[in-house]
Amino acid sequence: MPIVDAQPTPFEFDLDTTALLVIDMQRDFLLPGGFGESLGNDVAQLRRTIGPMKRLLEAWRATSMPIIHTREGHKPDLSDCPPAKLKRGPMIGQPGTFGKILIQGEYGHDIIDELQPLENEVVVDKPGKGAFYATDLEEVLTKDGIKRLVVTGVTTEVCVHTTVREANDRGYECLVLADCVGSYFPEFQQAGLRMIAAQGGIFGWVAESPALIEEIAR
Ligand code: C5J
């Protein structure tokens, strides 16, 4: 089995039971002038993941392992957006630079050009921060016999963390790639990664993508 140098211990995986999860690499979060930036965030903190993610996708696509992308967003009538979320995110559904913010079918809701999914890759639309809540992700993973997830995307302390915590509770072993996840807040990026691998890997492992790419390219 391939083994990647990771924290807190090496991460072992096999090509038949491992999937790549790419979380919310959407224009609304990553494009200059978009929703994320309009909230006062520095999108460069997220955009630094694009180069490593492109290299990872290229290597991963040369294997038979599945790739699953997620997008956070809502139906145009917001019927799947809990009032409590809307109360603290009143911009959701409002017109923005790239269409209605976080609304399915709008330009800003879709994945950035650099990381567009291929036709054979699954895209899971999720109304929450976690990728399991109110989605068919569990069915998709079960159908493919997946037991391990390599997790990438944004943001580290919100949608990546929520998903990895949920996945861990459901019995998946998760490897988070430090250079392929991003937070608008450098201190959250650092703490978010440390939390995953602390206490013997309380809910996962952390590694750098070149170490993984080297293993899957063997
Ligand atoms: C946020 C996400 N931060 N994808 N979404 O609202 O992490």
Structural domains in the chain?
3-73+111-216 (3.40.50.850)
Q: Distance (Å, rounded) from C-alpha 128 to C-alpha 150?
A: 20
Q: Active site includes 180?
A: no
Q: Is the CB of 157 under 6 A from ligand 1?
A: no
Q: Locate the ligand 1 atom nearest the alpha carbon of residue 160 and give its number.
A: 7
Expressed in angstroms and rounded, the spacing between residue 165 Cα and the centre of ligand 1 is: 15
- Say how far residue 10 (Cα) sits from the centre of its chain: 22
Residue 218 pLDDT grade (very low, low, confident, very high; cuts 50, 70, 90): confident
- Convert the pLDDT of each residue in 148-167 to its tens digit: 999 999 999 999 999 999 99
Expressed in angstroms and rounded, the spacing between residue 90 Cα and the centre of ligand 1 is: 15
- Give the 3-state secondary structure of residue 4: strand
Q: Distance (Å, rounded) from C-alpha 110 to C-alpha 112?
A: 7
Q: Distance (Å, rounded) from C-alpha 191 to C-alpha 135?
A: 28
Provide the token pair at 90.
């009143």
Global model pTM greater than 0.75: yes
Q: Active site includes 126?
A: yes
CB 128 within 8 A of CB 137: no
- Convert the pLDDT of each residue in 65-118 to its tens digit: 999 999 999 999 999 999 999 999 999 999 999 999 999 999 999 999 999 999
Q: Locate the ligand 1 atom nearest the alpha carbon of residue 159 and give its number.
A: 7
- Give the 3-state secondary structure of residue 191: helix
